[in-house]
Amino acid sequence: MNRFLALYRALDQTTSQQARLAVLTQYFREEDPHEAAWVVYLLRGGHLRRFVSPRRLREWIAAFLDLPLSLIEAAYQQVGDLAETLALLLPNRERPFSGALPPLALLAEKILPHIATLPESAQQAWLAQQWEQLSFWEAYLLHKLLLGGFRVGVAEGLLIAALAEALELPPAQVAARLSGALNHPSPSFYEQLRTPHTDSPEPYPFFLAYPIEELGNDFQEKLGSPTAYQIEWKWDGVRVQLVRRSGKVALWSRGGVPLTEGFPDVVIPHQSLPDGTVLDGELVILRENQVQPFAAIQRRLLRKKVT
């Protein structure tokens, strides 16, 4: 668990994308597959259920510290994050990692679900035992997991880049294997990221257009007659590929970001395409037969869930 704690702390303390990429890459190179699978799951927005209510957690730490509940509430109002507030109140907050916290996979799959089945008195006693020995960061993370509110602001693209470097795979291949994969984490889930797949719905490299420098009036001499070209408007949308392969349909941006889950209205109607079909084009918002400005599709891209 210490390795995950160090990763979480490093991610929390920097906004530099290069620094975050470096620590994530190192973590995935060194970590056990089962632990790494859980970290991928959590960083992609997966979460645990709530094992202890916020109210009970406040009451139990007040009893543990022999402090009035009103003081705990006042501290919470100042800090604004319950997990952090309670960790800051513990007597061992300045000590380094104790190493007492079990591995993340064991904690998430067995220990916390078991604790949740115990009588409240036994839950309180178990937590008091943890509070006696845990450092600030260990307690903070435990509280987050107990409350079901673990969140880390890591962009999907950054996670894909780190996994690609750690596993020595193309980013598009990693993204394809992760696409839609918020299933229950397991060692086999993580190992599947390393295993070569020839049938995954990955995009082809995008053939992008670039301005021609210093062409002047020599267009026809250098490139031939304009009548030999097909010319179209430059639509203000998102360049994408829709891939139908091995019974799956995936939608990709030119940056290798999977858009499948965000555009079910585009993906679902194309599930009947022949296997092996790849459509390359511009994704735009159309209203009353008029292409909308980029801002319209940008709002859609930023939505966490599509309803």
**CATH code of the domain in which 268 resides:** 3.30.470.30
Strands of 277-283's sheet in order across: 248-253, 238-245, 277-283
Query: 12 and 142: one domain?
Result: yes
* pLDDT for the residue numbered 144: 93
User: Within a domain: residue 162?
Assistant: no
**pLDDT truncated to tens, each residue of the chain (307 aa)?**
678 888 988 998 888 999 999 999 999 999 888 899 999 988 888 888 899 999 999 999 999 999 999 999 999 999 999 999 999 999 876 776 777 788 999 999 999 999 999 999 999 999 999 999 888 989 999 999 999 878 777 888 899 999 999 999 888 778 777 765 555 687 777 777 777 555 667 787 777 776 666 666 677 777 788 788 887 788 889 999 999 988 889 998 887 778 888 899 999 999 999 999 999 999 999 999 899 999 999 888 887 667 6
Which of 115, 130, 147 is the last residue in one of the domains? 147
What residue spans of the chain are helical by DSSP H?
2-12, 17-30, 33-43, 54-65, 69-79, 82-89, 104-106, 112-117, 120-133, 136-147, 156-167, 171-178, 187-194, 219-223, 264-267, 294-302
* pLDDT for the residue numbered 223: 77
* pLDDT for the residue numbered 237: 92
* pLDDT for the residue numbered 179: 63
User: Within a domain: residue 71?
Assistant: yes
* pLDDT for the residue numbered 93: 67
User: Within a domain: residue 168?
Assistant: no
Task: Please give the span between the terminal C-alpha atoms of the chain, in angstroms, as a whole number.
Answer: 37
* pLDDT for the residue numbered 124: 96
* pLDDT for the residue numbered 261: 85
Query: 121 and 6: one domain?
Result: yes
Query: 229 and 115: one domain?
Result: no
Query: 6 and 134: one domain?
Result: yes
User: Within a domain: residue 243?
Assistant: yes
Counting the structural domains of the chain, the total is 2
User: Within a domain: residue 45?
Assistant: yes
Query: Domain range holding 81?
Result: 2-147
Which of 147, 176, 201 is the last residue in one of the domains? 147
Q: What is the CATH number of the domain that holds 70?
A: 1.10.3260.10
User: Within a domain: residue 107?
Assistant: yes
User: Within a domain: residue 174?
Assistant: no
Which of 147, 175, 200 is the last residue in one of the domains? 147
Query: 130 and 11: one domain?
Result: yes
